[in-house]
Structure 1
Amino acid sequence: MTQKFDRIVVVGGGSAGWMTAMALVTGLKGRVNVEVVESEEIGIVGVGEATFPSIRHYNQLVGIDETEFLRATNGTYKLGIRFCDWLEVGRDYFHTFGHFGNLFGSQTLWAQYRRMGLAEPLGLQCVPTVMAMQGRFALPSEQDQFKYAYHFDAVRYAAFLRQLAMQRGARHTQGRIVDVVRRADGGVAAVQLDDGRRVEGDIFVDCSGFRSLLLGGALQEPFVDFSHWLPVDGAWACPTERVGEELAPYTQATALEGGWAWRIPLQNRTGHGHVFASRFIDPERAREQLLARLDGKPVAEPRLLRFTTGHRQRFWVNNVIAIGLSSGFLEPLESTSIYLIQDGISRLMTMLTAGRPLDENDRALFNDGSVRRFARIRDFIILHYCLTRRRDSELWRHVATMELPETLAFRMELWRRYGVLHEYDEEGFDATSWLAIHAGMEHWPERNDPVFAEIPPERALQALQGRRNAIAASVARMPLHHQMLGQVLR
């Protein structure tokens, strides 16, 4: 079955819906009618968003100016995530968007650290990690090349994109969907609104959030459950007033008794939340733990979100494509929600801009690639849990002893035995990110490649100290994060 398309209907707004609409009207340049159906009665999940560097690529592709974006969304810069109490209570480490240098080869830096028994963090060899530790920020230069991302208000981002997308030709229809009209071949012909209007389309993009109104609801696509490995199933979210002038240029994730707490700094407020597993902690106790951690006056009551980690078995069925939470959800530990939206949009645009009718091969490629992407990110998130030394609560005892997905167990064995950072296709995180977690959790290979011993220890130490000192000197000249942000916004 092939599909031609002249009308694309996006069901649902929020970040997923308006990022999709923005990409469609920009990439297809008016060749297709794009209509977003959104109900003001149905709230969006937006609780303040942390991202990783791919968001900059999306903004650039659709022609969004960085300064305008930061102003519109109360955005701040993000250099990575600070993980507190994950290895042990009282220990922390950074996962940042930089590299660790190429000292004597691509993978020898960690080997020299281990061989010489250096106690200092590996992150001291990484420019954005040192920047984050000191609360500083500067845009990358020819001398200091690194990636960065943002924190921003997801509700304001959706509104910003809606305005731009409508200026470029997207149609915005407000109304609550009460029925889905099916075609004879099982696809979707139209959605019926509560006021009697009917919105027809050739392709429907389901951005309806956790409800998955079209793919999970009308088409009844099965769900692949990851909760055995990622047991968190709820989150309390609570914004607070911003305290003090300084802004941390990173997200903070602190491991707690039954889950972990996030802290996301924006220009005007700070986002706080507690992601928890109800199997291991009562939701009300999780709420109390969140409120006890707030570092400012709450500006709203804590809001409870419920979810199951996993994804729909297929992401594209007949003429319905799910993007965002309607396709699946991986807990927000590594800020992947916006990335997975962007990844789905990228796959969709590749198909739609090919200039030919869509067929089963297109759908199969989209589905297979999306399934693998979810699996790779799932494994990366599990890595944070399974390496813990904590045994002080039921959750941490469970994740430290659970059976791992075969793909993760294999790559961990390669690392443990041989120091090889194995990569599959459809990776969400590169080898540098995997190294940051292994190093932060003090999970080192059992032995080093003998060739490392050919480098005299004094030479290796001199190189490490030289790089560390050069990074420290460079970062010391950079402005504090809030100073740099103020300069950009002015």
Structure 2
Amino acid sequence: MGSAYKRIVVVGGGTAGWMAATALATALPAHTVELVESEEIGVIGVGEATFPAIRNLHRLLGIDEAEFLRATQGTYKLGIEFRDWRVRGEHYFHTFGDLGDLSGPDCLWGHFRRLDDASLGTLGEQCLPSVMASMGRFQGLASEENKPFNYAYHFDAVLYAVFLRKLALQRGVRRTEGRVVDVRRRADGGVAGLKLADGRELAGDLFIDCSGFSALLLGRTLNEPFIDFSHWLPVDRAWAVPSEPDGTDMTPYTRATALEAGWAWRISLSSRIGNGHVFASRYLDEERAREQLLRQLDGRPLAEPRLLRFTTGHRQRCWVHNVVGLGLASGFLEPLESTSIFLIQSGLGHLIPVLQESPAPGAAEIEHYNTGMTRQFERIRDFIILHYCLTARRDSALWRDVASMELPETLAFKLHAWRQAGVLHQYAWEGFDAHSWLAIHAGMGHWPERADPGLEELTRAEASQALRQRRARFAAVAAAMPSHDAYLRRVLAR
């Protein structure tokens, strides 16, 4: 057994630090939780997009949705619209809804593909939140037990950290202002304490490294190796800039538009638009990338663009001795599918039960945690690569290279299973379910080579009628909903 973890020290504020402090203080009331951060350092905070798991966290923390949205300039998110990813001029939605039965004689996508009838529209029109997104409509769930779709949020990351900080302090978290200048080690290699610039020292039993890309404890102190994914995901820079609203309705979805050497995001917040350009510096210089971002803006920029530099990948282990890395300190995957906050939440979701079950986790528990987090990074990595490797674009070096690159074996097997037999294979620790994988396959026009013979059990006329009825029903349901703007104003007025 390891040493008992009664005093937990979170190193770094921002989204990761205050998420960790709030969750740990809520779930482990018998523990002491202290967070150390420096106002000198600041945080990396641009407009954040999330996916539905964040609502589970908010329920566990007792966060009121309206209060959260008001505090963070938040809006609702039904998913992502992908523009120009397969070829220029095409777009599709990946939203948080289901696409019916995925196998067997009632397989919805199977009948859609089998009929190959342009009058049926796109497969996305068989998914309620995709129809809502295309119409700019939104309505909350009538019942969590009987939900017809799911949703997430857009919000200002800096304001979110401020919101969580207030909640954490109310729940007993101690905040210490200070810059860490040295780390005192234990005899076994772990961390014993932190020395601050003013001479103070902080001791702890467990340290949560939320120090961002610097990875002060996990990287600089413990020298945990970094597993580099840039062979498959070459983007390594991002320009970010807020802009004025363009006067149109706020879109209840993120927009990701493929460009020459990467892609641009657009996120509607209640007071501004968040914009960014994620690109690969080996294909495009920083100044030209900045110019491409500014050309994408719908309204006047509200600040000078900020440049972020990064490498996609993760630490070989996220838990080493008595240090657990969360957020950017543990790894980073480009924000194409809004997974940064999910990975923080996933790390906490697997750490907290370990600490609840045992005051002194041993080697087996730590190894299980590390294996799970490694798999989580790998599964999400594969899902993001999927967006690139299916492209039909050959108009620039990036798109030619990603279309022909050698894939991770885990993804190659999934693609083989899909192409040969229409099987949406799922591993353990997946970040995205089979419906999400199907949305990307369908949006990129990537279909199996063979159809399931069992589909013939339903006549073409019966299949066509079922698809037309579902399409018409979702169109009518979405049309009866309020606009996203109107619904959001109603919630914020509570």
Instruction: Tell me the TM-score range normalised by the shorter chain.
Output: over 0.9
Q: What corresponds to 2:128 in structure 1?
A: 127
What does 1:157-306 correspond to in 2, within 5 Å?
157-306=160-309
The alignment status of 1:377 with 2:380, answered yes or no, reads: yes
Instruction: State whether residues 233 and 385 of structure 2, in contact with CA within 8 Å, keep that contact through their aligned partners in structure 1.
Output: yes
State the alpha-carbon separation in 1 of the partners of residues 8 and 173 from structure 2.
Answer: 10
The alignment status of 1:472 with 2:475, answered yes or no, reads: yes
- Using a 3 Å threshold, how does the CA distance of structure 1 residues 372 and 106 change in structure 2: closer, same or farther? farther
Instruction: State whether residues 48 and 154 of structure 2, in contact with CA within 8 Å, keep that contact through their aligned partners in structure 1.
Output: yes
Q: What corresponds to 1:93 in structure 2?
A: 92
State the alpha-carbon separation in 2 of the partners of residues 104 and 272 from structure 1.
Answer: 38
State the alpha-carbon separation in 1 of the partners of residues 310 and 102 from structure 2.
Answer: 44
Q: What corresponds to 2:438 in structure 1?
A: 435
- Using a 3 Å threshold, how does the CA distance of structure 1 residues 194 and 104 change in structure 2: closer, same or farther? closer
Instruction: Describe the SS at the equivalent of 1:353.
Output: helix
- Using a 3 Å threshold, how does the CA distance of structure 1 residues 96 and 318 change in structure 2: closer, same or farther? same
For residues 459-483 of structure 1, what are the alpha-carbon distances to aligned partners after superposition, in whole Å with 9 as ceiling and x for unaligned?
1000000111111111111000000
Q: What corresponds to 1:19 in structure 2?
A: 19
For residues 399-421 of structure 1, what are the alpha-carbon distances to aligned partners after superposition, in whole Å with 9 as ceiling and x for unaligned?
00000000000010000000000
Q: What corresponds to 1:59 in structure 2?
A: 58
Instruction: State whether residues 209 and 326 of structure 1, in contact with CA within 8 Å, keep that contact through their aligned partners in structure 2.
Output: yes
Q: How many residues align?
A: 489
Amino acid at match of 1:17: G
Q: What corresponds to 1:330 in structure 2?
A: 333
Instruction: State whether residues 127 and 144 of structure 1, in contact with CA within 8 Å, keep that contact through their aligned partners in structure 2.
Output: no
The ranges of structure 1 where at least 4 consecutive aligned residues each deviate by more than 4 angstroms after the TM superposition are: 103-107
Return the offset for 1:140.
2.2
Q: What corresponds to 1:313 in structure 2?
A: 316
Normalized against structure 2, the TM-score is what?
0.97
State the alpha-carbon separation in 1 of the partners of residues 104 and 128 from structure 2.
Answer: 18
For residues 329-376 of structure 1, what are the alpha-carbon distances to aligned partners after superposition, in whole Å with 9 as ceiling and x for unaligned?
000000000000000111110111114421111110110000000000
State the alpha-carbon separation in 1 of the partners of residues 353 and 106 from structure 2.
Answer: 34
Instruction: State whether residues 49 and 154 of structure 1, in contact with CA within 8 Å, keep that contact through their aligned partners in structure 2.
Output: yes
Q: What corresponds to 1:388 in structure 2?
A: 391
Amino acid at match of 1:134: M
Amino acid at match of 1:20: A
- Using a 3 Å threshold, how does the CA distance of structure 1 residues 103 and 474 change in structure 2: closer, same or farther? farther
For residues 255-310 of structure 1, what are the alpha-carbon distances to aligned partners after superposition, in whole Å with 9 as ceiling and x for unaligned?
00000000010000000000000011111110000011111111110000000000
Amino acid at match of 2:89: G
Instruction: State whether residues 103 and 463 of structure 1, in contact with CA within 8 Å, keep that contact through their aligned partners in structure 2.
Output: no
Q: What corresponds to 1:76 in structure 2?
A: 75
Superposed CA RMSD in Å reads 1.2
Q: 239-248 or 42-51, which moves further after superposition?
A: 239-248
State the alpha-carbon separation in 1 of the partners of residues 292 and 375 from structure 2.
Answer: 35
For residues 433-468 of structure 1, what are the alpha-carbon distances to aligned partners after superposition, in whole Å with 9 as ceiling and x for unaligned?
000000000100001011112211011000000111
Instruction: State whether residues 8 and 31 of structure 2, in contact with CA within 8 Å, keep that contact through their aligned partners in structure 1.
Output: yes
Return the offset for 1:18.
0.3
Amino acid at match of 2:130: T
Instruction: Describe the SS at the equivalent of 2:357.
Output: coil
Normalized against structure 1, the TM-score is what?
0.98
Q: What corresponds to 2:109 in structure 1?
A: 110
Return the offset for 1:127.
0.5
Return the offset for 1:57.
0.4
Instruction: State whether residues 5 and 359 of structure 2, in contact with CA within 8 Å, keep that contact through their aligned partners in structure 1.
Output: no
Return the offset for 1:13.
0.3
Q: What corresponds to 2:41 in structure 1?
A: 42
Instruction: State whether residues 223 and 311 of structure 1, in contact with CA within 8 Å, keep that contact through their aligned partners in structure 2.
Output: yes
The alignment status of 1:359 with 2:359, answered yes or no, reads: no
State the alpha-carbon separation in 2 of the partners of residues 356 and 227 from structure 1.
Answer: 38
State the alpha-carbon separation in 1 of the partners of residues 212 and 391 from structure 2.
Answer: 32
Instruction: State whether residues 245 and 482 of structure 1, in contact with CA within 8 Å, keep that contact through their aligned partners in structure 2.
Output: no
Instruction: State whether residues 241 and 298 of structure 1, in contact with CA within 8 Å, keep that contact through their aligned partners in structure 2.
Output: yes
Q: What corresponds to 1:411 in structure 2?
A: 414
Q: What corresponds to 2:138 in structure 1?
A: 137
Return the offset for 1:114.
1.4
Structure 2 residue runs without a partner (length 5+): none
Return the offset for 1:81.
0.1
Q: 460-469 or 353-362, which moves further after superposition?
A: 353-362
State the alpha-carbon separation in 2 of the partners of residues 15 and 327 from structure 1.
Answer: 14
Instruction: State whether residues 50 and 251 of structure 1, in contact with CA within 8 Å, keep that contact through their aligned partners in structure 2.
Output: yes
Percent identical pairs in the alignment equals: 63
Instruction: Describe the SS at the equivalent of 2:454.
Output: helix
Q: What corresponds to 2:454 in structure 1?
A: 451
